[in-house]
C-alpha cells in the first residue's frame, strides 16, 4: 500500500527536488547554464539569418541592369552629399577639441561604430529584444548604445561569443534620461506601451508643465548627456500627447517611436573606445 | 537506445527555433507567438518519467537561455510543473489519441502563458495596455498550437520509432 502511494507521489517528489535544486543552485552555475545553452542555440539563429541574407541576395539578383544603374547613380548623389558632411564634421570635431583644450573641459566620450546584422527580432508584450550577429568577437560590451538611421535602437544587454542581445527602446526595461528638443531640462523616458498590430510607443515622465505638444506638430524627444551611455541629441521619438500628472507638478505622456524599429535588419553599435 | 530523451529534446529545440523564426517575420506586425506549453506534452504523455522529464528540463533550460525572464527559472519550473501534472494524469485519459494530446497542449500552453505573463508584468509601466496585447498574442498562439501540435507529436513519434524505441513499453513505465 505504502509503495503504491510512493509510486503515485514519485513525480511530485521529483518536481519538488528539481524546484529545490534550482532554488539552491548558485548563481554562477545558473549563469553558466544560461550562457552554455545560449551558445548552443546561437548557430541555429545565425544560420537562419545567413539563409535570409542569401534569399535577399537572390531576390536582388532578379533586378534588371537598368535598375542597378539607376540605383548606382542615386547612391553616387547621396555619397557626394555625405562626403561633404563628413568634411564639415571633421572641422567641427577639431573646433570642439580646440574649445575643450581652451576651456579645460573634459572631452566627450568617443565611440567606434560597429555595424551588425539583425539575426532575430523578439518583440512580445513581455520583452522587446533583438539578437545581432556580432558579439565579444568584435569587442562589443554590455551597455553599449545601439543606433540606426532613425535614432536610438536600444542598448546591449548580453554579449555572447558571436552574438549579442539588444534591449529595444520599446522594452519596458529601458529607462533613460532625455531632453525635449530645444529644451535643456531633463525628462524621463521608458518603453513598454506595445499594442497589438500597431507600432510600439513609449512613455515620458517628469515633463515640465510649461511644455505643450500637438498631435499635428509633435515635439522631438532626444537623448540627454545625463543618460550615461548615449551621446546627446539622438532621436528617441516624438511626444504625441501630454497630460498633467496626478501630483500636478509635472506632465507625462506618450512617445511615438519610429515604426522601422520593429523591422530592422541592420543596426550600428557604438562601442566606447575606453572599454576596449 | 539509452539516451532516448535526446529525440524529444531535439524536436523541442527545433520547434522553439521555428517559432522564433516565425516571430522574427511577424515582429513588424506587432504579433508574437508563444508555443512553449506544447514542448512537454508528448514527453509527458508518452515517455517514461526519467526520459521525458530530462527532455523537458533540458528544453526548458534551452528556451530560457534565449529569453530575458525577470525571474530566472520561470519557464523551466513552469514546464516542469506542466510535465509532472500531465504525467500524473495521463493514465486517466486516452493519451494515444491526437485530439486529446492537442487539447492537453492547448491547456498547457494557456497555463504557461498566463504563468509567464503574471511574472513578467510585475512592475510594468502600462499593465492595462500590456494585458490587451498579451490576450491578442495568446489567441494567435493558441491557434498556432492547434495547427502545429499534430505535426509536432507525429514528428516525435516517428523519430522515436525510427530510433527503435518501444513506445508502448515506454509509456507504461
Instruction: Say yes or no to pLDDT of B2 above 70.
Output: no
**Contact at CB, B17 and A41, closer than 8 angstroms:** yes
pLDDT at A100: 86
pLDDT at A2: 66
Q: Which residue has the higher pLDDT, A135 or A9?
A: A135
**Contact at CB, A45 and B137, closer than 8 angstroms:** no
pLDDT digits (tens, 9 = 90+) for A172-228: 889 999 999 888 899 999 988 788 888 888 999 999 988 888 878 889 999 988 767
- Residues of chain A in contact with residue B64, where contact means CB-CB under 8 angstroms, are 34, 37
Contact with chain B for residue A241, Cβ under 8 A: no
Least confident of A98-112, A149-163, B18-32: A98-112
Q: Which residue has the higher pLDDT, A131 or A273?
A: A131
Instruction: Say yes or no to pLDDT of A4 above 80.
Output: no
Instruction: Say yes or no to pLDDT of A170 above 80.
Output: yes
- Our CA-based measurement puts residue A10 at a distance from the nearest CA of chain B, in whole angstroms, of 9
- Residues of chain A in contact with residue B31, where contact means CB-CB under 8 angstroms, are 196-197
Mean local confidence (pLDDT), B133-141 = 95
Instruction: Say yes or no to pLDDT of A275 above 60.
Output: no
**pLDDT, chain B, mean:** 91
pTM: 0.88
pLDDT at A227: 63
Instruction: Say yes or no to pLDDT of B152 above 80.
Output: yes
pLDDT class of A1 with cuts at 50, 70, 90: low
**pLDDT, chain A, mean:** 90
Mean local confidence (pLDDT), A4-26 = 87
CB A200 within 8 A of CB A191: yes
Q: Which residue has the higher pLDDT, A4 or A216?
A: A216
Mean local confidence (pLDDT), A75-81 = 94
- List all residues 6 or more positions away from A138 whose beta carbon is below 8 Å from its beta carbon: A114, A116, A271
pLDDT class of B122 with cuts at 50, 70, 90: confident
Instruction: Say yes or no to pLDDT of A105 above 90.
Output: no
Out of A82-91, A104-113, A176-185, the most confident range is A82-91
Enter the C-alpha cell of residue A105: 573641459
DSSP A44-77: HHHHHHHHHHHHHHHHHHTS-HHHHHHHHHHHHH
Mean local confidence (pLDDT), B138-163 = 95
Beta bridge partners of A241: A254
- Residues of chain B in contact with residue A192, where contact means CB-CB under 8 angstroms, are 124-126, 130
Q: Which residue has the higher pLDDT, A2 or A179?
A: A179
Distance between CA B52 and CA B74 in Å, rounded? 19
- List all residues 6 or more positions away from A71 whose beta carbon is below 8 Å from its beta carbon: A63
Q: Where are the domains of chain B?
A: 3-171
For A201, the enclosing helix (H) or strand (E) is: strand A201-207
Cell numbers 503504491 correspond to A4
pLDDT at A229: 82
CB contacts under 8 A, A 191-210 vs B, are: 192-200, 203
Scored b (16 or more CB within 10 A) or e, A125-153 reads: bbbbbbbbbbbeebbbeeebbbbbeebbb
Instruction: Say yes or no to pLDDT of A5 above 80.
Output: no
Instruction: Say yes or no to pLDDT of A66 above 70.
Output: yes
pLDDT digits (tens, 9 = 90+) for B12-47: 999 999 999 999 999 999 899 999 999 999 999 999
CB A15 within 8 A of CB B84: yes
**Contact at CB, B137 and A18, closer than 8 angstroms:** no
* CA B133 to mean position of chain CA atoms: 21
Instruction: Please choose, from the candidates A39, A263, A28, A27, the residue with its C-alpha nearest in 3D space to the C-alpha of residue A159.
Output: A39
Contact with chain B for residue A220, Cβ under 8 A: no
Amino acid at each position: 500500500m505504502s509503495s503504491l502511494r510512493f509510486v503515485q507521489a514519485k513525480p511530485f517528489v521529483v518536481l519538488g527536488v528539481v524546484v529545490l535544486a534550482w532554488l539552491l543552485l548558485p548563481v554562477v552555475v545558473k549563469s553558466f547554464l544560461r550562457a552554455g545553452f545560449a551558445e548552443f542555440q546561437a548557430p541555429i539563429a545565425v544560420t537562419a539569418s545567413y539563409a535570409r541574407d542569401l534569399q535577399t541576395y537572390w531576390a536582388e539578383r532578379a533586378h534588371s541592369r537598368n535598375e542597378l544603374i539607376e540605383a548606382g547613380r542615386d547612391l553616387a548623389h547621396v555619397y557626394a552629399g555625405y562626403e561633404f558632411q563628413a568634411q564639415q564634421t571633421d572641422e567641427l570635431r577639431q573646433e570642439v577639441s580646440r574649445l575643450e583644450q581652451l576651456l579645460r573641459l573634459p572631452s566627450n566620450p568617443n565611440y567606434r561604430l560597429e555595424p551588425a546584422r539583425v539575426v532575430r527580432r523578439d518583440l512580445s508584450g513581455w520583452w522587446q529584444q533583438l539578437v545581432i550577429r556580432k558579439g565579444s568577437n568584435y569587442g562589443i560590451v554590455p551597455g553599449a548604445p545601439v543606433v540606426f538611421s532613425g535614432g536610438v535602437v536600444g542598448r546591449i544587454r548580453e554579449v555572447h561569443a558571436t552574438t549579442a542581445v539588444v534591449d529595444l527602446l520599446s522594452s519596458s526595461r529601458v529607462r533613460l534620461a532625455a531632453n525635449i528638443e530645444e529644451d535643456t531640462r531633463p525628462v524621463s523616458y521608458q518603453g513598454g506601451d506595445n499594442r497589438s498590430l500597431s507600432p510600439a510607443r513609449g512613455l515620458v515622465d517628469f515633463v515640465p508643465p510649461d511644455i505643450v505638444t500637438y498631435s499635428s506638430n509633435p515635439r522631438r524627444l532626444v537623448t540627454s548627456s545625463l543618460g550615461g551611455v548615449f551621446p546627446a541629441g539622438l532621436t528617441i521619438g516624438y511626444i504625441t500627447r501630454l497630460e498633467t500628472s496626478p501630483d500636478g507638478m509635472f506632465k507625462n505622456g506618450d512617445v511615438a517611436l519610429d515604426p522601422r524599429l520593429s523591422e530592422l535588419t541592420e543596426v550600428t553599435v557604438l562601442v566606447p573606445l575606453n572599454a576596449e | 537506445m539509452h539516451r532516448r530523451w535526446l529525440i524529444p529534446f531535439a524536436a523541442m529545440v527545433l520547434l522553439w527555433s521555428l517559432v522564433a523564426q516565425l516571430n522574427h517575420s511577424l515582429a513588424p506586425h506587432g504579433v508574437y507567438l508563444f508555443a512553449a506549453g506544447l514542448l512537454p506534452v508528448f514527453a509527458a504523455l508518452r515517455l517514461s518519467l526519467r526520459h521525458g522529464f530530462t527532455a523537458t528540463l533540458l528544453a526548458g533550460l534551452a528556451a530560457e537561455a534565449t529569453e530575458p525572464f525577470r525571474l530566472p527559472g520561470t519557464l523551466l519550473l513552469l514546464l516542469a510543473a506542466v510535465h509532472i501534472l500531465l504525467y500524473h494524469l495521463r493514465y486517466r485519459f486516452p493519451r494515444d489519441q491526437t485530439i486529446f494530446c492537442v487539447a492537453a497542449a492547448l491547456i498547457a500552453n494557456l497555463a504557461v502563458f498566463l504563468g509567464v505573463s503574471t511574472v513578467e508584468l510585475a512592475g510594468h509601466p502600462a499593465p492595462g495596455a500590456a494585458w490587451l496585447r498579451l490576450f491578442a498574442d495568446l489567441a494567435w498562439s493558441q491557434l498556432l498550437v492547434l495547427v502545429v501540435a499534430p505535426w509536432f507529436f507525429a514528428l516525435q513519434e516517428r523519430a522515436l520509432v525510427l530510433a527503435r524505441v518501444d513506445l508502448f513499453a515506454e509509456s507504461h513505465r
